[in-house]
Structure 1
Amino acid sequence: MTPTTSIPDFSTTALYGDQNNTNGTACPETDAWEWLSSSQPVYILIITVLGIVFNVFVLMVFCLHKKACTVPEIYLSNLAAADVVLLSCLPFWAVNIYNNFDWPFGLFMCKAATLGIKMNAYCSIYFLVLVSMDRYVALVHTMSHGRMRRPKYAKLGCLLVWGFGLLLSVPTLIFRKVEHFPEYGVHACFLEYPNHAVELFCDGMLVVVSFVIPISVISFCTIKIIQALKIQAVERFNAEKTEQKATTLVLVVLLAFLICWVPFHLVTTLDVLLRAKVLEGCHLNTVLDICNQVFTYLAFFNSVLNPILYVIVGKNFRKKVREVFKQWSNKKTASSESTRSNQSSTLKTLA
């Protein structure tokens, strides 16, 4: 079975649902689907294992370090948590593809697994919006808005982002369903909107809310941040070195996010235009279907890439890692000495 037939496109990313719906497209199938379907489960499982290990490591460093997290670290730790949520849901999709899109986990997990994936699409980019705004305030409006950069406000902002991501994912909870297709012998987990207008509205909302608006804000902040860094480089403000280190990491993380996610959102935009009949053509439909698959898993790879960037680029993060390992070493030493002391006291008492 290939997903370009008249049934919903089960293989299409869980981020926004089915592309072909039940429109009975007459476009010819392509051999590329066989290669995609066979390679996707392996790829998903690899990035799942690596991503969960790397992101849990990041969360442990931020949580176990003796010093409280800074505002950027609060945002980046929530980004890591969002990536863990995404990666924890991906194995269900890998099994689904391996089973030729026969969903074995029931309706609850159909909704829950895809909800976690879709929430990540919204939450991840808005955590980056928050961290880019924080860097903008730190470097461009250092004196006038310093009070806004407090950990309690950062935590409140993260809580609002989680709530916002859940709210925008409500269509997934409502319209995601499991249905039996006897002609293909599968129980498919897919999105079935009540009508075409609702489908276009939901997908259009994904493009505007999770791409156009946040990318516009991030782009504005990034331009101002780079301008501020150039000015500070000329003036050699030593007091700003810590902020510059944090900003460098943020800019690299933002760049990686754009590289991984922009292709997916561009393809999503073209797909919405195709289903709205603004664009037409079987060749375009096939190309978009394949590109959607490839760019979806490029986007997922961003969840593995972020922790690697923290280690490579983040000097402060590497310092925290060393300090956390030092804390563990000191605790083990203290525990060992305490055990030997207790044993010595016991022996003296017995003697």
Structure 2
Amino acid sequence: MSGNQNNTNCSVESNSLILILVPAYILVISVLGIVFNVFVLMVFCLHKKACTVAEIYLSNLAGADLVLVCCLPFWAEYVRNNYNWLFSESLCKLVPAVISMNAFCSIYFLVLVSIDRYVALVHPLSHERIRRPFYAKLGCLVVWGLGLVFALPAFIYRKLRFEPWSNGTLLCDVDYTGNQYLVSEVMTIMFSFIIPVSIVSFCTVSIIQALRNRVMGGLNSQRMEQKANTLILLVLLAFLICWVPFHVSKIMDVLENVGILSCQIILIIFQQVSTYLAFFNSVLNPILYVIAGENFRRRAKELVKQWNNKTTETFSLMSTRTRLTTVKLGKPRADL
């Protein structure tokens, strides 16, 4: 979320179509993201079996995505009111910080999933000892910690302020100096995009090569390898589609800030649209990483059976108690 909304030549007009479409788009993302990720967390957390290494990463990913999409309605209201912040300054700091933190964590949970798949398929024997739940939980804890550190600038520098060009509206904006802004944007591009996408790309290419080099063990093996190839490519493609435009807009914003590009309305619109396209990845994650997986579907079916059995047992117990109560009430007294 760019803080460069204070340029008179780059302000978004109050009758702009973006003020109508973006809030509706954000709310749709929020509803879908909450439903999908809550469902994922229910399947992982309520199932009687312990989570595998991959499922630990995926459950943390769902948690990060869930918190992120829960914060987006605040920003939808901000945009809908023509960038007039109606909430407190504490929320002005907290909401962008939480969004930044969970966007960062979501990306790196995807990286952990990619690394886990790389280790499992490319080095299944020599690296089996590191694919343990303890190390998976430790990795998730590190990601959450780094995400918190990454969100600190948003929490520190976000402020409420009036601007003359904004017709008296109250902006929730970052208060960076020129150097602080450039350092922040470059660090975001480096650690939230270049590094993770390089790791995911390396893991994906290595996995595809390893699958192609294996000897085909029959039709079933071919189908399994084809599914693995397709899923890996879809995951990488979704990641790139959702996040490349956002970081391209970040780069363009940096170039505009140093005077290489001139600020135009189309740039502001592109920045806004690319930001919320990136957040759509929080809706795609449970679909591509979890719901499309056979293990998840099996676990979901087992959870449904588990609930059905508990419901049946509960009704059976209630029925038995009712019959016993009826018998006791209807039994003649011995002293009559």
Residue 178 of structure 1: how far off its partner (Å): 0.8
Secondary structure class of the residue paired with 1:169: helix
Q: What is the aligned counterpart of 1:337 among 298, 316, 334?
A: 316
- The Cα RMSD (Å) is 2.5
Count of residues in correspondence between the two structures:
329
Aligned residue number for residue 191 of structure 1: 174
Secondary structure class of the residue paired with 1:178: strand
Q: Sequence identity of aligned pairs in percent? A: 54
Q: What is the aligned counterpart of 2:156 among 164, 174, 181?
A: 174
Aligned residue number for residue 114 of structure 1: 96
TM-score (structure 2 length as normaliser): 0.90
Secondary structure class of the residue paired with 1:81: helix
Corresponding letter in the other structure for 1:316: N
Residue 57 of structure 1: how far off its partner (Å): 0.5
Aligned residue number for residue 93 of structure 1: 75
- Partner Cα separation in structure 1 for residue 223 and residue 321 of structure 2: 48
- Partner Cα separation in structure 2 for residue 30 and residue 110 of structure 1: 20
Aligned residue number for residue 66 of structure 1: 48
Alignment partner of 1:19 is 2:4: yes
Unaligned runs of 5+ in 1: 1-12
Structure with the greater alpha carbon radius of gyration: 2
Aligned residue number for residue 286 of structure 1: 265
Corresponding letter in the other structure for 2:182: L
Corresponding letter in the other structure for 1:280: L
CA pair 233-324 structure 1, distance change in 2 beyond 3 A: farther
The 5-angstrom pairing of residues 284-323 of structure 1 reads 285-310=264-289, 313-323=292-302
Unaligned runs of 5+ in 2: 332-336
Secondary structure class of the residue paired with 2:3: coil
Structure 1 contact 33–290 (Cα < 8 Å) conserved: no
Structure 1 contact 310–317 (Cα < 8 Å) conserved: no
Residue 334 of structure 1: how far off its partner (Å): 0.7
Residue 242 of structure 1: how far off its partner (Å): 8.2
Aligned residue number for residue 143 of structure 2: 161
| Superposed CA offset, 1:181-222 (max 9, x none) | 3661212111111x1001100011000010111111111111
Corresponding letter in the other structure for 1:266: V
- Partner Cα separation in structure 2 for residue 340 and residue 254 of structure 1: 53
Alignment partner of 1:223 is 2:205: yes
Aligned residue number for residue 5 of structure 1: none
Aligned residue number for residue 326 of structure 1: 305
CA pair 203-100 structure 1, distance change in 2 beyond 3 A: same
- Partner Cα separation in structure 2 for residue 33 and residue 192 of structure 1: 27
TM-score (structure 1 length as normaliser): 0.86
Alignment partner of 1:346 is 2:328: no
- Partner Cα separation in structure 2 for residue 271 and residue 26 of structure 1: 14
Residue 347 of structure 1: how far off its partner (Å): 2.4
> Where do 4+ consecutive residues of structure 1 move more than 4 Å?
24-27, 29-33, 235-251
Corresponding letter in the other structure for 1:77: S
The 5-angstrom pairing of residues 40-59 of structure 1 reads 40-59=22-41
Corresponding letter in the other structure for 2:97: L
Residue 328 of structure 1: how far off its partner (Å): 0.7
Alignment partner of 1:76 is 2:61: no
